[in-house]
Structure formats: structure tokens, C-alpha cells
Structure 1
């Protein structure tokens, strides 16, 4: 809970005035709570006097005017208490909503800034749950549990002082009840918190299983895996249910034990107070007042038991949010980054070594790419080719050596400015929910509709876009599922053309496409590469032969690099790779051919 409060403190600090108003309303409510039983005490004592009772202090006998005044006072006090409670609730709800919204936005920006190492090893559904559900739970508990507890604890302190003034001896019952509650709740609270933590982990596993299945539904259905995946989901669901029931059972047990403690304290006051009235040490009105205060004073104990489960869930959620905020990106922007005015596209990998975890994927790679040059990076799968792409946009940083753009180390450049200079075309073209026009415009958010359509024409996409039901305003499904692979790729190329960056990276951009779609995409890629420094990670022979230089990477090292013509004439490995079928190229390695 301390970590949770540390997360919320900066966000709450921006709403000091609103919080101050809420606290003032809360204090006023406590005052009216203290005053609320007094009209009843006055009436009971006045009626007792009228019936002949000789009471301590000789209160005035009952009269119509006294009864009317006390009744009106009770209505006014109750109304004002309700108003103060309303104002405090609204104030704290506003603070909670604004603070949680700010925290959620801050957390989302933080996650977006984390390096690709984090995103490749963490489940996206769990991360989304932390951002949305866990932060929301902090807000819910702050309003539904935190505010009532704060009010009741203030009331407990004030009313206990009043009870001591009325009768110090009877007030000891409140002290004993509070001590019994604290002794009984200590172990239960720890168990409830642990059960809530396990419940949240189980719910995160549920979300991961559902997200993985639904995002791969074509494979699940094609291989008949529905029952297997449903079994995994049911197993995780049962585990989460078991811990959830355990948490609720523990909380219910604590509530019922608290009821017994409150009942014992009330019985003690009833017996002791009755004796004190018979002795003349207090009036019947004092006993009514004392009993009413006891009921109100015991409310925090009931609420502590009632809200322990919610607070435990909030603590578990806060812990998960804090864990996510504690993640640190391996990619850090320079304190005073350099912003180049113009980039021509001179790329250098200077004796670069890169790791994934503890596993080296690139070893002492030394490669210079001149502006406008087209490089094809080929070699066996898993040899480190795609790592070059991550290094170039600082998705990760090398552990040794340096990557430079136009002579500037990438670590010295402003991160956003660096990434503006590189357009990446991946094997799976990623489209976002929205229209086709919106997806192309992501290359340049300030582009006009005319510029969007010019980019689509250059990417060989204009004709098929117009054939869609609503043309450029056609909404695409999740991840572009309503379009073919070739169509998605050409939209991605149009987006890259609109970006107009000096460096283009193609990461297996034609893999998995049929010959017709591949031909359309290659024509669009040709337009994209014009005048730009291009790095193409590929298994496509046509892409490699069209390059100005071919670089073979194997085992994380550059084993040879030359023009495709010279390699075809002198290098048996490259000749075997170029003549092999699509499915065999990946297995060809240096030294395996003669």
C-alpha cells in the first residue's frame, strides 16, 4: 500500500485545493455526526423529568416548543450532515478520477517507452490489465472504501473524546473492543491480501489465455484446438475463482467476528450504563447519547472488516502497477540530445555486438552503408539479421560498438527525431483500427487527403482502395484482417512513402505473399526505395539481386559482402542460396556447399 500511495501522491498533489475542500466537508460532517444525537438526549431527559424523574442537573421538563425545536434541530443537523457527506464524496470522486486518469496516461506513456526487450518477454494482455483494470481499481477503492474509512476514523476519535467526557469508565469498553478487533484482524488482513494478490495474477493469466487464443483464432480453428485452449482457460479460471472465494471467505469471517465484538461492547455499555443511571451517575439521555455514540464509533471497525477485501485488492492492484512503473527501459535518451537539421542516410555499424538477454545475436559487426545504397541482408534464420533493424531505430542498443547515422552516434540523437528518419516495412503489415485513409496518414499526420492518395497511387494501392465499399473511408478490421496480405503491405508502403524518410528498412516484406501479390508489392517497394538508403532483410532472390550490395550474416557475424553479380560469379554459398527453393534457402550455411 505504501508503494501504491507513492504512485498516487504526485497525481493527488495537483488537486490540493479540491482535496482541501473535501477534507473540510469531511470534518464538518464529523461535527454534525457528533451533534446529531443531542436533540434525542435532550428530549429523553426532558420527558423523564416531566414523568417525575429526579435527574442529575435538573433538566427542564418537556414542552411542545422544546419538542418542536429539538425536532427541527434534528432535521437541520441531519440535512447538513448529508450535504457535507455529498460534497466530500463528490470532491474525492473528482480527485480520484482525475488522479487515476493521469496515472493511467503516465503508465501508458511509460510502457510505450520501454525497450523491445520488455515487450518481447511480457504478455500484452497482462500489461493492458494493469493499465486499465488495476488503475481503475485504485480509483474505485479510494472512493468507495477510503473516503468512508477516513470519515469514520475521524468520527471515532472525536466521539471517543466526547464519550470519555460523558463517562470515562464506560468508554473503556470502546478501547477493549478496538484492541480485540486489531488483534483479530492482523492475521486475517495478511491472508486476505495474499489471496487477493493470487486472484489478480490468476485474472491476468485468464486475460493472457483469452488474448492469445482470440488473436490467433484462425490457427486455433484450423487445427481444432478449441477444446484444448478452452481447457487451459477453464484451469486458469478455476484457480482464480478458488483464490477469489478464499479472499471473500476470509473477509466475511472478519466481518462476523467484528459483529460479535461490537455486540459484546454494546451489551457491556447497556448493562454498565443502566447501572450508572440507577446510581444517578448519568441521566437516561446520557445513556441514549452514549449508546448512539458507541454505535457510530463501532462503525469504523465494521467498515474496516467490510472494506478489508477491497483494500487488499487495491493493494494487489497497486503492487502490479508499481511493478510496471519500476520497469526501466534499456534505451535511454541523452540528457541533451542532438537534433540534426537534415539527414542524408549514411549508416554505420562500427564493430557492433548485441545481446538478447545473455545470448549474443550480433558479434563485432562492421558495416557501412552509403546514402542511396541498397543493401540486401541475407543468411540463415536466427543469425541476427532482424537485430540490425532494432539497432537502427534504437529498439535496443548494442553492448559494444556504435551505430551512427550521418556520423552521429544514435545514442546522441533525440529518439523521436531519429525514428522519423527511418521507415520500416515489416513482414506482417500492421494496420490500426480505423479507415484506410487514417492508416496511410499515420506516416504523416499533417498530410492532406490529396497527399494520402498520391502516396497510395505510388504504392500501387489506389485502384484496389477505390474498389472497397467506401473507398479510402472504408474501415479495416482489427490488424487489417478484412484485407489480403498484399493489400495490407501496399497500404503500409503508402504510409512509408508519405513519411518520406531518408532511410528505408524492409524486414522480410514480401515473405508469405503469392506471386501476383509479391509482384505488386515489389513494384511498390521499388518506388519506395528510389533515392533512399535501403536495408532489406530478405529471403527473396529478386530483392537480393536488385540490391547494390549483398551482406551475408551467419552466427551473428558478417561473413561476406559484395555486389550480387560478383557473388554469383565467385561465391558458391550465394549461388546455392539464389538457386534454392523458397523453403530451402533458410537451411543454407557457409561451408555447407562447395
Structure 2
């Protein structure tokens, strides 16, 4: 319950703009207050029991001592042979020493149960096994030499099929664009390459070897990723760019930033590369955040690039700068790009059109326009919209 309350608070702080835009402050406040009230009731109930433990144990202790004194005193006064005065005093002394740890156990009862509940939750997370693991005899892949290939790949979530018998061959150095309607399986197909998910059937091969035979760490070491959602950390620009390569020098980071068209705006900021960008890069514009992410990928210098709609959320000027940076990034690299904008698509060596989890068209920009199929329809809709 406390975790839910903190989650609501984090959502409210990170989504403050949209909350204010929709006048949803009363709803957010009511949701947090309801959870807070539940948490407060439970904590008050626990505190009551915890605070009652001491007086209750004291009272019971006094009653027991009084009872023992009355009973033992009666036996001694009557001259009973069952108990003599020395034994009685010794018994009272021993009993008084036992009372203190007995009361401590009573006071710690609620803390013990609270710790058990928290421990069960933490241990459940610790014991959770990853769904995808390396083979016991997994081998290391050091370089990408020939091709990336999908062979009869089928995948879905639960009982919903998302990819259906996909076959693609991407030669080394080629730039491939994935296009198609939303829900066609583009992002899912891309997630299969670094083994974020596992296909139901079929194989994905790099240089003729099934990627499941490679260790995930070495496989992902060949890849750089730039997503539509920029993921940055509340740190300096330098540390964000050098995130995957902490040993990078200032010169290497600056070189990567120049390729990503980011060096000029970085130098114009308050402290240059040592400027802190705030939580999730809030101090930067959308285009600046995206170029920092591209610089991060450039610095890693991977042979395979995975780009997921890296320019879709940008204005025209930012898109041009980011697109130039992406073009620099894709030089001499194998690139798989999910894109909707014509500027990103038309320069690709091969375009793959996905619909309903199936490949419906492949070819270059002009070849697909001549086919007068789904690709041409998508392009004409975009041109008309522009």
C-alpha cells in the first residue's frame, strides 16, 4: 500500500503538465488521499497495538507478581513444607528477571510481522527468474560480418499472434526501413533481435548462427539503440553520452556529439559537457534530448543500429538536425529503422512493409511506388497530410 502511494506521487510529479492541462488535479488529489487514508488507518491500527503492548504486559506482570506473592506468602505463613522463605525469595528474583525480555517480545511482535510481510515481497522479487536466459554452452560473438536473417519467425503475446512467418535477410552495411500501419509488428520484430523477447517458432540468425546460441551480453554489445522515447538520467551531459562507455575521454565524447549535431548546443549551455540536464533530461528540448541519445549510440560505435521512430515526435527543424545525425550514425553500419516520415524512409536501401504481422511488400522507395500497393497508399496519405 505504501508502494502504491509512492507510485501515485511519482506519476503526479512526472505528469504534472498533462494533469493541469486536463484539470485533473482534484482526481489525482482524491486518488492519493484515498490511498493515504487507507495507509494511515493501517498504521494507526498497528501503532495502537504496538503501544498497548507495554502497558498490557506491565499490568499482567504486576497481577502475576501479586498473585505469586499472595500465594507464596500464604504458604509460608501457614508453615507449609512445600516452600521455605529462601526459595520463595529466589523464585521472585528469577521471575522479575524474566519479565523484561517477555515484555520486549510483546513489543516487537508487530515489528516482526511487518518485517515478515516486507521480506516476503522482497524475496519474491529476488527469486523471480528471467524468462530468457543464456544457454549453458552459449558462445561469444565478437563481430558482425555477413548478414542478419529472420527465418520463418512467428511470435505473439499470450494467444494473440503478432508476427506470422516472417522471412528477411539484411546484408551487412544495408539500411532497412520498417513501415506499415500501427500494430503491424514493427517494434516487436525489432525487440526480437537483442532477445528482449523470444520467437514462438523460427530462427533469427547472425552470420548463419542462431542468436540463441550467443550470450545475450555479447549479442547486445553489437547493437546500438535509439528509441522514440528518450531515456536520459539526472546527470551531466558528459555522463549521459558516456553511459555505455564510462572509460571514454573528453575528446571521444566530443567527437560523438559532433556526429550527432549536438556539440554546438552543448557548448552553448551553462557548463558545457558538465551541465546537469535534470530528471529525464527536462532541461533540454525534445530534439536536444534525441541528439544526446544518438551521441550515446555513436560513442558505442556498434555495427548494428536499431532505430525506433527516432524523429516522429520532433518539429521540422529538430527533425532535420536529428535526421542528419541519424544519417551520420548509419554510415557504414547495418541499420534497422522503424519510421513513418518520408525523409527517413526514402534513403533506405530496402523498405519492408508490415501489415497484420506479415510482410506484404519489399523493395526500394521507387520500386514500391511503382507497385501501387500499401506503401504507395501510406506515402500518399502522408504527402496529403503534409
Relative to the length of structure 2, the TM-score reads 0.93
Asked whether the equivalents of residues 347 and 404 of structure 1 are also in contact (C-alpha less than 8 Å), the reply is: yes
Number of the residue aligned with 1:14: none
2:339 corresponding residue in structure 1 = 538
Structure 1 residues 474 and 208, CA, compared in 2 at 3 Å: closer, same or farther?
A: same
Change (3 A) 1:212 1:283: same
Q: Using a 3 Å threshold, how does the CA distance of structure 1 residues 243 and 345 change in structure 2: closer, same or farther?
A: farther
| Residue 246 of structure 1 pairs with residue 48 of structure 2 | no
Q: Unmatched 5+ residue regions in structure 1?
A: 1-201, 586-594
The counterpart of 1:339, out of the listed 140, 160, 172, is 140
Q: CA deviation at 1:257?
A: 4.7
Shift of 1:450: 0.6
Alignment CA distance shift 1:387-1:317 (3 Å) = same
Q: Over residues 55-87 of structure 1, what are the superposed CA-to-partner deviations in whole Å (9 max), with x where a residue is unaligned?
A: xxxxxxxxxxxxxxxxxxxxxxxxxxxxxxxxx
Alignment check: 8 A CA contact 1:345 1:503 kept: no
Distance 2:54 2:154 in 1: 60
1:513 partnered with 2:321:
no
Question: Is 1:282 equivalent to 2:84 in the alignment?
Answer: yes
Unaligned stretches of 5+ residues in structure 2: none
CA distance in 1, matches of 2:31, 2:146: 49
Query: How far off is 1:438 after superposition?
Result: 0.7
Q: What is aligned with 2:16? A: 217
Q: Residues of 1 paired with 2:88 and 2:14: CA distance?
A: 67
Secondary structure class of the residue paired with 2:149: strand
CA distance in 2, matches of 1:226, 1:560: 48
Determine the structure 2 residue equivalent to 1:492. 293
Q: Equivalent residues in 2 for 1:576-591 (5 A)?
A: 576-581=377-382
Q: Quote how far apart the aligned CAs of 1:295 are.
A: 2.2
C-alpha offsets along residues 366-408 of structure 1, whole Å, 9 cap, x if unaligned? 1111101111101111221111221111111112112222222
* 1:471-492 superposed Cα distances (whole Å, 9 cap, x missing partner): 0111110111100111111111
Of the three residues 178, 190, 203, the one matched with 2:2 is 203
CA distance in 2, matches of 1:294, 1:463: 80
Contact 1:378/1:537, CA 8 A, preserved across alignment: yes
- Pairs within 5 Å for 1:475-486: 475-486=276-287
| Cα separation, 1, equivalents of 2:383 and 2:228 | 15
| Structure 2 residue 117 is matched with structure 1 residue 316 | yes
Conserved in 1, the CA contact under 8 Å of 2:142 and 2:218? no
Give, in angstroms, the shift of residue 337 of structure 1: 1.5
Contact 1:345 1:532 in 2 (8 A): no
The 5-angstrom pairing of residues 136-151 of structure 1 reads: none
Deviation at 1:267, TM superposition (A): 1.6
TM-score (structure 1 length as normaliser): 0.62
Taking the TM superposition and a 5 Å limit, the aligned residue runs for 1:27-38 are none
Could you tell me how far apart the structure 2 residues matched to 1:307 and 1:357 are? 46
In 2 relative to 1, CA 445–295 (structure 1 residues): closer, same or farther, beyond 3 Å? same
Residue in structure 1 matched with residue 242 of structure 2 by the alignment:
441
In structure 2, what is the equivalent of residue 237 of structure 1? 36
Choose which of 106, 111, 128 in structure 2 pairs with 1:305. Answer: 106
Mapped to 2, the partners of 1:300 and 1:471 lie a distance apart of: 61
With CA pairs under 8 Å and 6+ residues apart, which has the higher RCO, 1 or 2? Answer: 2
User: Hey, what does 2:305 align to over in structure 1?
Assistant: 504
Equivalent pairs, count: 383
The residue number in structure 2 matching 1:525 is 326
**Residue 212 of structure 2 is aligned to residue 411 of structure 1:** yes
Partner of 1:430: 231
Worse-matched range after superposition: 214-223 or 526-535: 214-223
Q: How far is the alpha carbon of 1:556 from its aligned partner?
A: 1.4
Corresponding position of 1:465:
266
Question: Closer, same or farther in 2 for the Cα pair 1:583/1:227, shift >3 Å?
Answer: farther
Q: Structure 1 residues 304, 494: closer, same or farther in 2, change over 3 A?
A: same
Residue range with higher mean Cα deviation, 425-434 or 287-296: 287-296
Q: Quick check: which one's helix share is greater?
A: 1
Moved more, 456-465 or 563-572: 563-572
In structure 1, distance between residues paired with 2:96 and 2:211: 68
Alpha-carbon distance in 1 for matches of 2:207, 2:367: 28
Question: Shift of residue 559 of structure 1?
Answer: 1.5
Q: Distance in 2 between the 1:219 and 1:298 partners?
A: 59
Question: Residues of 2 paired with 1:372 and 1:261: CA distance?
Answer: 82
1:291 to 88, 92, 105: 92
Contact 2:156 2:163 in 1 (8 A): yes
